[in-house]
Amino acid sequence: MSQSGSFKKLEKEKGKTAYCQTCNTLMFCNEVPASGNYPAKLQWQNKNGTAHYLYDYKTGKVSCNAEPDTASKLPELGTVTEPEIVFQKKVAEALRKYHLIEDVVKKDLGTDANPQHVGLVIKLIFDQISQ
């Protein structure tokens, strides 16, 4: 099994937490008990204990299994293609960044600031950090 693509391998250590380098989700390194022919192993998991990285045996690619609160906003699997899911995840991530910026900008400019001005400042900062 080859680790292809842009996935950098994070060093696994039981009880360790790390942010996924692809989707910035906070992950927890937990031990998965042995089952069948598979020995016990360490695995990066989401907050709810599901595996964060999904390995597709057909394509040999690893993908992110995002938190359910993000995933629940996505349409049911099967109705969307994989590139669409990737795109939706990117949109969700961009939206998350946007709201973070919005919070900071609104605090900085005050509640009575011109909404158009606020929007412009948000866009400026968003463009800068997205480069």
Footprint on this chain of Zn ion (rule: CB under 5 A): 20, 22-23, 25, 64
d(CA 46, CA 72): 14
d(CA 16, CA 11): 9
C-alpha to C-alpha distances, 85 to 2, 5, 14, 54, 122, nearest whole angstrom: 23, 17, 30, 14, 26
Least distance from Zn ion to the Cβ atom of residue 61, Å? 13
23 DSSP β-pair partners = none
Least distance from Zn ion to the Cβ atom of residue 63, Å? 8
Q: Which is nearer to Zn ion, 43 or 102 (CB)?
A: 43
Least distance from Zn ion to the Cβ atom of residue 102, Å? 24
Q: Which is nearer to Zn ion, 49 or 119 (CB)?
A: 49
d(CA 110, CA 124): 18
Q: Which is nearer to Zn ion, 23 or 121 (CB)?
A: 23
Q: Which is nearer to Zn ion, 46 or 101 (CB)?
A: 46
Q: Which of 53, 61, 59 is CA-nearest to residue 23?
A: 53
Least distance from Zn ion to the Cβ atom of residue 14, Å? 20
